[in-house]
Structure 1
Amino acid sequence: MTARPANAHQARLLRLLRDGGPSSRVELGDLVELSRSKLAVEVDRLIATGLVVADGLAASRGGRRSHNIRLSPELRFLCVDIGATSVDVAVTNPELDVLGHLNQPIDVREGPVAVFEHVLGMAGKLKATGIAESFDGAGVGIPGPVRFPEGIPVAPPIMPGWDSFPVREALSQDLGCPVMVDNDVNLMALGEHHAGVARRVDDFLCVKIGTGIGCGIVVNGEVYRGASGSAGDIGHIQVDPDGHPCPCGNRGCLEAHFSGAALARDALAAVRAGHTGDLADRLAGTGTLTATDVAAAATAGDAVAIDLIRAGGHQVGQVVAKLVSFFNPGMVVVGGGVTGLGHGLLAAMRTEVYRRSPPLATGNLPIVLAELGPLAGVTGAACLITDRVFSPA
């Protein structure tokens, strides 16, 4: 098993090297409150553990040249982002560079055993490329509420068979390494904070719109999970008391009115009611409609598709406006599969947020699309597991 840092100073040094890459002892000394002699002791101890290696001489800053150090390039982390209909699996080095990445369709309703058979098979394929012999840790995201300390899903509405399944324990046994588990939108928020559009923002909301809708809440650079791990479950905020039934058992939830599945449902209903535009042509060609079809139809100018996207954006914007009034974030990041709908969705959301929230909260508030796409979740998974591995035992 990978060694762990012995104290908070070592953990701080490891995270600085993770986030900033190779650094000299002098540069690290500028960032941590340690004397030069104490810093040297802690760095030497980290080198002895194998977590850190020497990396040649640093650039001269006058006087005696300092030595660069970096995280061991041999470290490897498995990153898993499970969605409702697909899974992304990646391997990163300790500086969170993605070395290999696979995507595969799955149905999360098959249950945890079947889904993790797919995940382990994909991990094996990545190993076979030669980028990893084993893993020093694994981060996993799932599309439902997670009791974070134990890594256990709790009553996830779209995941039958997953309630209380010991994801963290089971995968740790299969992989032979530490495993951390979190909600998928929290990992997306971590990924965008580390390497995406929110990398310079410490207080922001990350709204993920896909098969479901969730919100990652980042406060002072840390994910806020709430008392029991369910913070940010905005998909089940009611937007219409007499609205559509939701898998959670209630009616009128945001997720029941605007998500990938809801968008496809409403598009299909429009065609069956007599709409004859691009959506009808797509249904005739394939026999089904998806959120991707709605996006493509909107791009082609289909009026119903455009109206569906605009209406959904207004509904999401109404909920986000309340969050902005309450939380006062520095940015709102919008990601997930449905963001293929693009700027029409974003424009509708912005209209609602800027109209409904106080000017003081929205005067300098960017509402932007996520940057990392399918790599956001796996990058966040790498952040999650390295946070654990690079923490004192």
Structure 2
Amino acid sequence: MATAGSKYVVQRLDGVRRANLAVVSRTIDRLRIASQTAISDETGLANGAAANLLAQLRRIGLVEDTEIAATGTRGRPRRAVRLAPRFALAVGVEVSVEAVAISVCGTDGAELANSYARQERRPDSLPAAVLDVLAEYEKLLGANGLPPLTASLVIALPGLVAAQHLRVPPFGWTDVLVPDLIRTAPPAVRRLAFLNDGDAAVIAEAALRPEVECVAAIHGSDGIGGGVSLNGRLFSGAGGAAGQFGHVVVETGGRPCHCGNRGCLCQYVSTTAFAKDVQEGATLSALGHRGYAAHLATRARQGDSAVLTLLRHAKTRLSQAVDVLGAVLSPETVVLTGNLAPLTPWLAFSPSSWTPAQEYRAEWSRPVVSSALGQDSVVRGAAVAARAAILDDPLGFATA
């Protein structure tokens, strides 16, 4: 039997303390400014335990003291704490088929710096891409005068992300070992992790809607991806393959898809499909997928009949996929992100538009809305995930 001084018990107690530090950190984050009494009330921790945990968070620099104004006309303000913005950096990265975007946020979630650069040459391998990202991150810190704090860095990719392996078919990168990639990170990057781009998008959208139980994101890049958030947690499915809404079949025996099926949504609703339908491959190449989506939106606003017809047909296909999504998951809302966001005025719809004869179908039809983050949902979602890692283990990012 283990004794109080055994290594097993010490490790177990340390784990409990780290878990309690995470609870307190997340509570402060949720309340923004929190007194010790409020922390005790919210967490159920005794005042003494809350005080002890707060003292440790002060020592490592995660929180800083502030005040809450007195509620009455008399009395001194109450002491409180808030997250220190420069404890550690939360870094989100999106590596897409055409560009690398980086968002650097403070511990409080405020964005401190960002960059977006189209890539003329694709890296030969994922390890090479990670090294390029780390170099761009260092340059971004220097250009914005940011100190080299400890960091949590999450890279979002258009591929399947599992605990030990990565597959990025658009780049031809298959069966890349995650532990090998993590070892390339410099000492200041205390955590390096990877996400599917659609998963990153839904993390960002769910963070904007903390009261919503189930959020689905349909993400447009060169094709269509997506993600699902249940009760604020990412639902990745077996092998990280959940949320691949681009491969919902919307036409039996339809256009062939690289996945091996025919009639997948991405063959009808994506910048690649749009450019093919109107024979504008050269325009797509010149503008890139991001620019081409904005270009189509501009033409739609100007009343371009070819573009409006294209988007009307795309809306029909999209509604077919959303019906499937609604019947399986019944999300409260479906958000169009990435390169679909600029086109949402022509693709969005609401169940209220159904006729009485379609009432049963309306039970699983869900509103389709635009992302408030526009085409930046992936990089911001990666930053949200990076920041969550800091709050979940603040001791892991302490400098002393």
Normalization by structure 2: what TM-score? 0.81
Kindly tell me: are residues 322 and 158 of structure 1, through their superposed partners in 2, closer, same or farther at Cα, counting changes over 3 Å? same
Q: 1:295 aligns with which of 294, 297, 300?
A: 297
Please state if 1:80 is matched with 2:90.
Answer: no
Cα-to-partner distance string for 1:140-160 (whole Å, 9 max, x where unaligned): 11112111x23x323x33231
Amino acid in the other structure paired with 1:13: V
Deviation at 1:348, TM superposition (A): 9.0
Kindly tell me: are residues 52 and 325 of structure 1, through their superposed partners in 2, closer, same or farther at Cα, counting changes over 3 Å? same
Deviation at 1:261, TM superposition (A): 0.6
Q: In 1, distance between residues paired with 2:41 and 2:180? A: 40
Q: In 2, distance between residues paired with 1:134 and 1:214? A: 33
Alignment of 1:228-377 (within 5 A): 228-268=239-279, 290-347=292-349, 358-362=361-365, 365-377=366-378
> 8 Å contact 2:27–2:43 — kept in the other structure?
no
Please state if 1:159 is matched with 2:174.
Answer: no
Gaps of 5+ in 2: 1-13
Deviation at 1:357, TM superposition (A): 6.5
Amino acid in the other structure paired with 1:331: T
Deviation at 1:61, TM superposition (A): 4.9
Of stretches 377-386 and 224-233 in structure 1, the one that deviates more from structure 2 is 377-386
Amino acid in the other structure paired with 1:39: A
Kindly tell me: are residues 213 and 353 of structure 1, through their superposed partners in 2, closer, same or farther at Cα, counting changes over 3 Å? farther
Please state if 1:48 is matched with 2:59.
Answer: yes
Deviation at 1:259, TM superposition (A): 0.8
Kindly tell me: are residues 299 and 56 of structure 1, through their superposed partners in 2, closer, same or farther at Cα, counting changes over 3 Å? closer
Cα-to-partner distance string for 1:322-349 (whole Å, 9 max, x where unaligned): 1112212121111111321231111499
Q: In 1, distance between residues paired with 2:359 and 2:135? A: 48
Gaps of 5+ in 1: 272-279
Deviation at 1:251, TM superposition (A): 2.6
The equivalent residue for 2:68 is 58
Kindly tell me: are residues 212 and 350 of structure 1, through their superposed partners in 2, closer, same or farther at Cα, counting changes over 3 Å? farther
Partner SS, residue 171 of structure 2: coil
Q: In 2, distance between residues paired with 1:352 and 1:307? A: 21
Q: In 2, distance between residues paired with 1:174 and 1:352? A: 52
Partner SS, residue 215 of structure 1: strand
Q: In 2, distance between residues paired with 1:377 and 1:4? A: 32
Amino acid in the other structure paired with 1:84: V
Deviation at 1:41, TM superposition (A): 1.6
The equivalent residue for 2:135 is 121
> 8 Å contact 1:22–1:70 — kept in the other structure?
yes
Normalization by structure 1: what TM-score? 0.83
| Percentage identity across paired residues of the two chains | 25
Please state if 1:70 is matched with 2:86.
Answer: no
Cα-to-partner distance string for 1:44-85 (whole Å, 9 max, x where unaligned): 1222333333x2333225777542222233221221122222
Deviation at 1:169, TM superposition (A): 4.2
Kindly tell me: are residues 352 and 184 of structure 1, through their superposed partners in 2, closer, same or farther at Cα, counting changes over 3 Å? farther
Deviation at 1:380, TM superposition (A): 1.7
> 8 Å contact 1:79–1:138 — kept in the other structure?
yes
Amino acid in the other structure paired with 2:157: I
Amino acid in the other structure paired with 2:80: N
Deviation at 1:34, TM superposition (A): 1.4
Q: In 2, distance between residues paired with 1:168 and 1:199? A: 32
Partner SS, residue 240 of structure 2: coil
Q: Give the alignment's Cα RMSD to 1 decimal.
A: 3.3
Q: In 2, distance between residues paired with 1:179 and 1:158? A: 22
Amino acid in the other structure paired with 2:336: V
The equivalent residue for 2:159 is 144
Amino acid in the other structure paired with 2:344: G
Please state if 1:212 is matched with 2:223.
Answer: yes
Please state if 1:132 is matched with 2:147.
Answer: yes
Cα-to-partner distance string for 1:134-182 (whole Å, 9 max, x where unaligned): 44211111112111x23x323x33231x222245642553333211211
Q: 2:200 aligns with which of 168, 187, 199?
A: 187
Q: In 2, distance between residues paired with 1:66 and 1:95? A: 21
Alignment length, in residue pairs? Answer: 370
The equivalent residue for 2:382 is 381
The equivalent residue for 1:10 is 21
Q: In 2, distance between residues paired with 1:328 and 1:88? A: 32
Cα-to-partner distance string for 1:269-305 (whole Å, 9 max, x where unaligned): 7x9xxxxxxxx9x79x99x994444333222212121
